[in-house]
Amino acid sequence: MSELQHQSWSRLNDLEYAPAPESASLARLRDSYGLFIDGKFSDPGSHSQFVTLNPATEKPLATVAAGSSADVSRAVISARRAYDQVWSHMPGKERAKYLFRIARLIQERARELAVVETLDNGKPIRESRDVDIPLAAAHFFYYAGWADKLDHAGYGPNPQPLGVAGQIIPWNFPLLMAAWKLAPALAAGNTCVLKPAETTPLSALILAEILQQADLPPGVVNIVTGDGATGAALVSHPGIDKVAFTGSTEVGRRIQRELAPAGTHLTLELGGKGANIVFEDAPIDQAIEGIIDGIFFNQGHVCCAGSRLLVQESVASEVQRRLIRRVEQLRVGDPMDKNTDVGAINSAEQLARINELVDAGVAEGATRYSNSCDVPDAGYWFTPTVFTEVSQTHRIAREEIFGPVLSVLTFRTPEEAVAKANNTQYGLACGVWSEKGSRTLWVAERLRAGVIWSNTYNKFDPTSPFGGVRESGFGREGGRHGLEAYLNV
């Protein structure tokens, strides 16, 4: 452990930055929200309601309607009517106008959306401001461009939409995942019923206001909030032509089993246990930043997180020493503070899951290091944690933790690195760090993962397809490939 201790004579980040909090009042939240069906918000009083919390304080933000199966039915019927009567006949260049309008409105209300996202999710305002919201707008801009060019997307002349899409999104990037789902579906001519995650429904409801502002025809997008039961009602509704799900592998498996007999189109974006592979000839300082971004971005609530670090033995002790020093430097705390690097865990349930797996890691004999900062009393917190001396059989090397916990393993040869990286049920993302191009390519073509980053990690762009293989799911979101999921090809 002594080699993991950082030098204390020059403490990184020792300078105290005074708090620089963003104003919560920018969120302009209502007390309660109904469902967004057929272009209108329903009366909140007509539904049973549940509370959505700020995970950093455990204080309630608003109450939200729990959509029943009857509500789901109304939404699907509305989407079908909009599909038959308006959206599927509308020329692509007209659909594009709506998408461009939505994109611009997201930009105009970016600050408000960033605050809502941070309040509801617990992620640092720096990330919602610089990543989530700009990328969500970029996805609408990008797919707006495709709407009148579908003939040239490589799927033959005049490709047709699928119909009504049921879309279920997770809580880790609430607005961004809504954009990933809605933008390509609408560009291709489908209508949608979107079910946001139970713990993070608010930004989708602000998006509903934006859809109203954009004058999107009623029923083209319906947003039904609720829990797993609402999602299940949506998946099993006979009026749905296509299901797109992002979430856990366990739920994804259930959905696929249920839809198999019906032949409903399906794309799944599920869990992952990404490997960040650092070779001895890597640019070490940038690799450290990439490892940090890979696992502590969004508190590690990222399906493609680089939750396993595979580091070549010849540089392992140096990389571990620098990594620990850098982890100690992370600023954990109030997500609304512009200087916060790591925010709150999204829910008590997720925190319990992280604690369980970390306890298992300790019990199995891995060495634990955690950032020594104090965290607030209220709220759900887990300080950034690194496990060293992890072996392939440990649970923390195999199961998705979905939290700020990194498992460090070592390798000696490129062959061993590839074998260890592929030794997982998942296949979403990997990173390769080396200054030697031939080695990077050799490794990349042997990795079984949908996304491979070279000398970087967790970089997203609307033009680039994203998705997994094996138990990380199938289908691609983003880029030209993302259109295929919403076209009858």
Partner 1 sequence: MANVVTLPLRSQSSPSSTGADIVFGAPHQPSRIGNETELRVALGGLSGVDTVGANARVASLGTRSLKQGTKRALLDLAITMIDLTTLEGNDTPGKVRSLCAKALRPDPSDPTVPSVAAVCVYPDLVSLARTALGNSSVAVASVATAFPSGRASMSVKLADVREAVAAGANEIDMVIDRGAFLSGRWGLVFDEIVAVKEACGSAHLKVILETGELVTLDNVRRASWLAMLAGADFIKTSTGKVPVAATPPVVLVMLEAVRDFAEDTGVLIGVKAAGGIRTAKDALKYLVIVNETAGSAWLTPDLYRFGASSLLNDLLMQRAKQMSGAYVRPDRFSGD
**Which residues are annotated as catalytic?**
269, 303
Distance CA 132, CA 113 (A): 9
DSSP, res 38: T
Site size toward partner 1 (CB under 8 A) is 30
Instruction: Mark residues 454-473: x for contact with partner 1 by CB under 8 A, - for none.
Output: -xx-----------------
The first and second tokens of residue 236, run together, are: 């099993």
Distance CA 270, CA 354 (A): 18
Contacting partner 1 (CB under 8 A), which of 11, 28, 59, 89?
11
Instruction: Mark residues 410-439: x for contact with partner 1 by CB under 8 A, - for none.
Output: -------------------------x----
Closest CA to 178 of 122, 222, 227: 222
Q: Say which residue the tokens 């900062």 belong to.
A: 373
- Segment lying near partner 1 (by CB under 8 A), choices 6-14, 26-34, 216-224, 403-411: 6-14
Length of the chain: 489
Pairing of strands 308-312, 405-411: parallel
Shortest Å, Cβ 436 to partner 1: 10
Contacting partner 1 (CB under 8 A), which of 1, 12, 51, 352?
12
CA 247, 249, 252: angle at the middle one, nearest 5? 70
Interaction of residue 10 with partner 1, rule CB under 8 A: yes
Interaction of residue 126 with partner 1, rule CB under 8 A: yes
Shortest Å, Cβ 10 to partner 1: 3
Side chain identity at 292, as an amino acid letter? I
Contacting partner 1 (CB under 8 A), which of 14, 31, 377, 445?
14
- Segment lying near partner 1 (by CB under 8 A), choices 2-10, 112-120, 169-177, 209-217: 2-10
Q: Which is nearer to partner 1, 13 or 85 (CB)?
A: 13
Closest CA to 271 of 306, 292, 247, 241: 247
| Residue 126 Cα to chain centre, angstroms | 16
Interaction of residue 374 with partner 1, rule CB under 8 A: no
- Segment lying near partner 1 (by CB under 8 A), choices 3-11, 169-177, 301-309, 413-421: 3-11
Residue 101 CB contacts under 8 Å (≥ 6 apart), including other chains: 214, 215
Burial class (CB in 10 A: 0-12, 13-18, 19+), 212: middle
Residue numbers 254-293 binding partner 1 by CB under 8 A: 281-286, 289-290
Which residues of the chain form contacts with partner 1 (CB under 8 A)? 7-20, 126, 130, 281-286, 289-290, 329, 338-339, 435, 455-456
